[in-house]
Amino acid sequence: MSSNHSNESSTILIDGKSVPFTKGQTILDAALASDMYIPHLCFNPKFKPHGSCRVCLVNVNGHASCACTTPASPNAKVESDTTELNHDRRVLVQMLFTEGNHFCPSCEKSGDCSLQTTAYELGMVSPHFSPNFPIREVDASHPEMLIDHNRCIFCSLCVRASREIDCKDIFGLSERGAKTKLTVNSPTGRLGDTDFSSNDFAANICPVGAIIHKGVGFANPIGQRIHDLSTHQIQALDGEDA
């Protein structure tokens, strides 16, 4: 970092706006700290970025990069809210919808789900691709918690939370690509055969409806949920996915 440019060394240009950053921050960190929304799914500020969902894709000086893993650097010119990038993000989200089994109207996480709200924000009006309808199980073996594998998007937040914060290492991801699977580290592979607790950090971090608490599904009524009350503004899209 050049000492000759000390005034420029702490800002980055995102969609034409000068955004301050501190050493060690990524583009996504800097954007979020300035209340600028860059769509993202597998990022959570508590953990080192994973860079797997690719929904935070931006152009940095003309090169495609993940905003969550790319360090902010002085004078970098970042494009995020463009028709092309939002189109690409929308395709990624559509693929997530069709690779799993996501039925928002009947899901108790509706309104509190990052996948659903990102789809809305990206102007997704249909899954576009043919659904895979994979056969996935529901693990209801734990007295307080339930895993619905149909809704998992493999963001690995539960894996990281259990390992790094709860120090239990209850979850893992196995296989790759379309065969990726959330696994439970117990002799039976069942959640009920672990020491998982509803108070664990990992029990409260799932951004979708894959790891949920039993018995509280609709305690917070629809219309008063996290994403019912807040939206992010991104460039209007053309609805080409219909």
> What CA–CA distance (Å, rounded) separates 165 from 233?
32
> What CA–CA distance (Å, rounded) separates 160 from 226?
23
71 interacts with ligand FES by CB under 6 A? no
Compose the 16-55 pattern: x for residues touching ligand FES by CB under 6 A, - for all others: ------------------------xxxx-------xxxxx
- Please report how close the Cβ of residue 42 comes to ligand FES at its closest, in angstroms: 4
Q: How many residues touch ligand FES (CB under 6 A)?
A: 12
Query: Which amino acid appears at position 15 of this protein?
Result: D
In terms of CB distance, is 34 or 186 closer to ligand FES? 34
In terms of CB distance, is 121 or 139 closer to ligand FES? 121
- Please report how close the Cβ of residue 184 comes to ligand FES at its closest, in angstroms: 23
CA proximity to 124, closest of 156, 89, 148, 99: 89
In terms of CB distance, is 36 or 55 closer to ligand FES? 55
Question: How would you classify the pairing of strands 211-213 and 145-148?
Answer: antiparallel
Question: How would you classify the pairing of strands 11-14 and 171-174?
Answer: unpaired
Among 14, 32, 58, 66, binds ligand FES (CB under 6 A): 66
What is the crossing angle of helices 83-99 and 114-121, to 10°?
140
- Please report how close the Cβ of residue 56 comes to ligand FES at its closest, in angstroms: 3
> What CA–CA distance (Å, rounded) separates 89 from 57?
7
- Please report how close the Cβ of residue 53 comes to ligand FES at its closest, in angstroms: 3
